[in-house]
Amino acid sequence: MPHVVILYSGNLEQEADVALLCRRIADAMLTVTDEQGAAVFPPGGIRVLAYPAAHAAIADGGEAGRAAGGNGDYGFMYVNLRMGRGRSDEVKRRAGEAITSAAKACMSPAMERMLMGLTVQVDEGQEVFDSKTSTLHPLFSKARG
């Protein structure tokens, strides 16, 4: 926690630099602060994973797009942040806005070229069991210490 999972139709792989998108979203998360100006996400806890789908079906499958003079190819990208419980509404909003801005900046050329949807949602994890082990966190605690 926190982690971002990006699910998207495989045809976007050629339309956008998704590795760069992951980095931009991670960078955006590093900048999110709470009402007191403190960083919301510990650097060692920021993780973004992206998955192109092997198969996809979107909307009507292309009919309306072809009728409108296009090639009927549609895209979809879903960006989901799961964050820990107990943050203020303002912090959730800031996190969501930061990720949305990063995602839109990366995806806007693709969105201009093709018909696609981009959804960003933030979930508060409701886990009933939670275990974290990390050899990465201490690196940043040390750096800060």
Measured from the CB of residue 89, what is the shortest distance to its own copies in angstroms? Answer: 7
Q: Please count the residues of this chain forming the interface with its own copies, following the rule CB under 8 A.
A: 81
From candidates 12, 15, 25, 32, binder to its own copies by CB under 8 A: 25
Contact 34, 88 (CB under 8 A): yes
Measured from the CB of residue 32, what is the shortest distance to its own copies in angstroms? Answer: 12
Measured from the CB of residue 112, what is the shortest distance to its own copies in angstroms? Answer: 8
Phi first, then psi: what are they for 134, rounded to 5°?
-150, 135
CA atoms within 13 A on the CB side of 59: 13
| Per-residue binder mask for its own copies (CB under 8 A), 101-140, x = binder | ---x------xx-xxxxxxxxxxxxxxxxxxxxxxxx-xx
Compute how many other C-beta atoms are within 10 angstroms of the C-beta atom of residue 135: 7
The secondary element (H helix, E strand) that includes residue 48 is strand 47-52
**Of residues 41-60, which lie at the interface with its own copies (CB under 8 A)?**
43-60
